[in-house]
Amino acid sequence: MCNKIKVIVNDLKKTQGKEVTFKNIAVSADTNEEIKKAKLQGHGIIAKDKEGKIVQILSGHSYDAKAVKAIVTKLLEEE
Secondary structure of 33-61 as H, E, C letters: HHHHHHCCCCCEEEEECCCCCEEEEEECC
Tens digits of per-residue pLDDT, 13-57?
766 667 777 777 776 655 677 777 777 776 778 888 888 888 888
Query: 25 by DSSP, 3-state: which?
Result: coil
Whether the model pTM is above 0.85: no
